[in-house]
Structure 1
Amino acid sequence: MSRTRRSSFPTARPGVTPPGGRHATATTRSAGAATRAVTRTLSDDPLGGTVRRTVLPSGLRVLTEAIPAMRSVSFGIWVAVGSRDETGPQAGAAHFLEHLLFKGTHKRDALEISSSIEAVGGETNAFTTKEYTCYYARVLDEDLPLAIDVMCDLVADSVLEPADVETERGVILEEIAMHDDEPGDEVHDLLTRAVYGDHPLGRLISGTAETVTPMTRRQIQSFYRRRYVAPHIVIAAAGNLDHATVVRLVRSALKGSPLDTDPATPAPHRPTTPAVRTQAPTVVVHAKETEQAHVVLGCPGIDRLDERRFALGVLNNVLGGGMSSRLFQEIRERRGLAYSVYSYASQYADSGLFGVYAGCAPGRVQEVLELTRAELARTAEHGVTEAELARGKGMSKGSFVLGLEDTGSRMSRLAKGELLYGDLVPVDELLHRVDAVTLDDVNALVADLLSRPMSLAVVGPFGESDFVA
Structure 2
Amino acid sequence: MYNKITLDNGLRIVTEYIPYVKSVSIGIWVEAGSRKENKQNNGVSHFIEHMLFKGTKNRSAKEIAESIDNIGGQINAFTSKECTCYYAKVLDNHIDIAIDVLSDMLFNSLFDSEEIIKEKSVIYEEIKMYEDSPEDLVHDLLSQTIFNENSLSFPILGSKESLENITREELISYFESFYIPSNTVISIAGNFDFNSTIEMIKRYFAEWKPKRSLIEKYDKPIIYHNISKKKKDIEQLHFCIGTEGIPQGQDDLYALLILNNIFGGSMSSRLFQDIREDKGLVYSIYSYPSSYKDTGIFTIYAALNPDYFVEVIDIIMENINIIKKDYLSEEEIYKSKEQLKGNYILGLESTSSRMTSIGKSELLLGKVISSQEIASKIDKVELKDITRVVNRIFDSSKYNIAYVGKFDNEEEIDIKLKRLLFK
1:8-63 per-position Cα deviation (integer Å, ceiling 9, x unaligned): xxxxxxxxxxxxxxxxxxxxxxxxxxxxxxxxxxxxxxxxxx22111111111112
1:381-402 per-position Cα deviation (integer Å, ceiling 9, x unaligned): 2211212111221121111111
Selected match of 1:450 from 347, 370, 394: 394
The yes-or-no answer on 1:151 pairing with 2:102 is: yes
Q: Which has the higher contact order (CA 8 A, sep 6+)?
A: 1
1:277 match: secondary structure: coil
Deviation at 1:275, TM superposition (A): 3.4
Map of 1:109 onto structure 2: 60
2:303 match: secondary structure: strand
CA distance in structure 2 between the partners assigned to 1:192 and 1:425 by the alignment: 28
* Kept after mapping to 2: 8 A contact 1:288/1:460: yes
* Kept after mapping to 1: 8 A contact 2:358/2:369: no
Map of 2:296 onto structure 1: 352
CA distance in structure 2 between the partners assigned to 1:146 and 1:388 by the alignment: 48
1:430-459 per-position Cα deviation (integer Å, ceiling 9, x unaligned): 111101100111012112211233111111
CA distance in structure 2 between the partners assigned to 1:254 and 1:456 by the alignment: 46
Deviation at 1:75, TM superposition (A): 0.7
* Kept after mapping to 2: 8 A contact 1:285/1:462: no
Change (3 A) 1:269 1:311: farther
Task: Give the fraction of aligned pairs with identical amino acids, expressed as a percent.
Answer: 38
Q: Name stretches of at least 5 consecutive residues in structure 2 with no aligned partner.
A: 419-423
Map of 2:341 onto structure 1: 397
* Kept after mapping to 2: 8 A contact 1:383/1:447: no
Map of 1:283 onto structure 2: 227
1:424 match: secondary structure: coil
* Kept after mapping to 1: 8 A contact 2:271/2:286: yes
Deviation at 1:410, TM superposition (A): 0.7
* Kept after mapping to 2: 8 A contact 1:149/1:249: no
Following superposition of structure 1 onto structure 2, how do residues 154-303 of structure 1 map, counting pairs within 5 Å?
154-254=105-205, 260-261=208-209, 271=217, 275-279=220-224, 281-303=225-247
CA distance in structure 2 between the partners assigned to 1:68 and 1:390 by the alignment: 33
Letter in 2 for 1:467: D
CA distance in structure 1 between the partners assigned to 2:220 and 2:251 by the alignment: 16
Deviation at 1:424, TM superposition (A): 1.6
* Kept after mapping to 1: 8 A contact 2:15/2:187: yes
Deviation at 1:305, TM superposition (A): 2.4
Map of 2:414 onto structure 1: 467
1:200-255 per-position Cα deviation (integer Å, ceiling 9, x unaligned): 00010111111012211111111111110111110011111012222222222346
Letter in 2 for 1:278: I
CA distance in structure 1 between the partners assigned to 2:222 and 2:369 by the alignment: 30
Selected match of 1:100 from 51, 63, 70: 51
Deviation at 1:270, TM superposition (A): 5.8
1:354-384 per-position Cα deviation (integer Å, ceiling 9, x unaligned): 1101111122222211111211122122211
Deviation at 1:269, TM superposition (A): 10
Letter in 1 for 2:384: D
1:194 match: secondary structure: helix
CA distance in structure 1 between the partners assigned to 2:93 and 2:201 by the alignment: 16
State which drifts further: 176-185 or 52-61.
52-61
| The structure with more helix, counted as a fraction of residues | 2
Q: Name stretches of at least 5 consecutive residues in structure 1 with no aligned partner.
A: 1-49
CA distance in structure 2 between the partners assigned to 1:452 and 1:275 by the alignment: 21
Map of 1:43 onto structure 2: none
CA distance in structure 1 between the partners assigned to 2:247 and 2:4 by the alignment: 26
Selected match of 2:6 from 47, 55, 71: 55
Scaled by the length of structure 2, the TM-score of the pair is: 0.94
1:260-300 per-position Cα deviation (integer Å, ceiling 9, x unaligned): 226x89x799647x632222x11111111111110111112
The yes-or-no answer on 1:64 pairing with 2:15 is: yes
CA distance in structure 2 between the partners assigned to 1:359 and 1:270 by the alignment: 39
Scaled by the length of structure 1, the TM-score of the pair is: 0.85
CA distance in structure 2 between the partners assigned to 1:417 and 1:214 by the alignment: 33
Letter in 1 for 2:356: S
* Kept after mapping to 1: 8 A contact 2:40/2:165: no
CA distance in structure 2 between the partners assigned to 1:209 and 1:55 by the alignment: 39
